[in-house]
Amino acid sequence: MRITPIVAAAMACAAGLPAAAQVTAAFEDESNAWSYAGPTGPAFWAQMPQYPACGGPRQSPVNLPRGSLQAPVNVAVTYPAWSNGSIYNNGHTVVVTPTVTTGMLRLDNVPFALTELHVHVPAEHTVQGHRYEAEIHVVNHLRPNNQLAVALTTFIAAGEHNPGWDALIAALPGHEEQRNPISGAVNLVSLLSLGNLPAEWLYRYEGSLTTPPCSPAVTFLIRQAPIVLSREQIDALSSAMVRNARPLQPGQPVQLHRGSP
Ligand SMILES: [Zn+2]
């Protein structure tokens, strides 16, 4: 994986599917050169010659401190539903890539194109020391150069069964390089309860990919309120992937914002 200013583009994590790969393949490393355990695990990423940024500044994830109210964050998403979707196991996580190209997140009126979403079990970020069951990264890239990304992050807490997730859970590919079709439409707004996003409380900070090459080019927008899945649904997610949470990185300024509807 080359690390150049262009590479600083990147995605919030390892991910990947053909549609996204057309623009982002050069920015990521989905290889088996790294892992989450043993001699290629997170403690050694920075020592690997191809991943120097993993030992550099503004690394993610971090613990999110109690925040004081800051200026409102201006964020909105337009994520159309899509059909003929699939979910892919790349050996590091499971990835869902839109089959439409019109998904958009606007941060401070700057448009970022929806690229993919993937899952970390358990959550990577902690909130005042509390670690949620899982964390979803919805990755959006600044076009055309893809030099910056916004990771819209949603925590998962355990609770009631969430029927909106049934189709996705049923499609989970348990084996590396396995891809399964998702029945019905994929609607991120309902899947992640994004309908009131502009008025939500969000943590915001400038971080990095949480996977090699750890490019310091990701703005995290982390929703304070989790979505809820049942224990059985969370266990299904967990069994589809390795424990893929990078350890917490040295802290950096994080602010808590409220949206500006
Ligand atoms: Zn991620």
Q: What is the pLDDT along the chain (261 residues), one digit of tens a residue?
A: 222 333 333 344 434 333 333 334 335 677 889 999 999 999 999 999 999 999 999 999 999 887 655 667 899 999 999 999 999 999 999 999 999 999 999 999 999 999 999 999 999 999 989 999 999 999 999 988 787 999 999 999 999 999 999 999 999 998 999 999 999 999 999 999 999 998 898 999 999 999 999 999 999 999 999 999 999 999 999 999 999 999 999 867 777 777 665
- C-alpha 142/C-alpha 149 separation (Å) is 6
Residues in the chain: 261
CA of 160 to the centre of ligand 1 (A): 25
How far apart are the CA of 184 and the centre of ligand 1, in A?
Answer: 25
Question: What pLDDT sits at residue 9?
Answer: 35
pLDDT value, residue 7 = 32
pLDDT for 222 equals 94
> 46 C-alpha to center of ligand 1: Å?
18
For 61, 136, 153, 170, the CA distances from 183, given in Å and listed in that order, are 33, 20, 24, 9
Query: What is the Å distance from ligand 1's center to 79 Cα?
Result: 19
Give the pLDDT of residue 72.
Answer: 76
**What local confidence, expressed as pLDDT, does residue 29 receive?**
75
Write down the pLDDT at residue 2: 28
Distance 61 CA to ligand 1 centre (A): 9
Instruction: Measure 41 CA to ligand 1 centroid, in angstroms.
Output: 16
Smallest CA-to-CA distance from 226 within 153, 176, 168, 164 is with 153
Tell how far the Cα of 155 is from the centroid of ligand 1, in angstroms.
12
The pLDDT score that the predictor gives to residue 97 is 96
Give residue 149's pLDDT: 95
HEC assignment per residue over the chain? CCCCCCCCCCCCCCCCCHHHHHHHHHHCCCCCCCCCCHHHCHHHHCCCCCCHHHHCCCCCCCEECCCCECCCECEEEECCCECCCEEEECCCCEEECCCCCCCEEEECCEEEEEEEEEEECCCCCEECCECCCEEEEEEEECCCCCCCEEEEEEEEEECCCCHHHHHHHHCCCCCCCCEEECCCCECHHHHCCCCCHHHCEEEEEEECCCCCCCCCCEEEEEECCCEEECHHHHHHHHHCCCCCCCCCCCCCCCEEEEECC
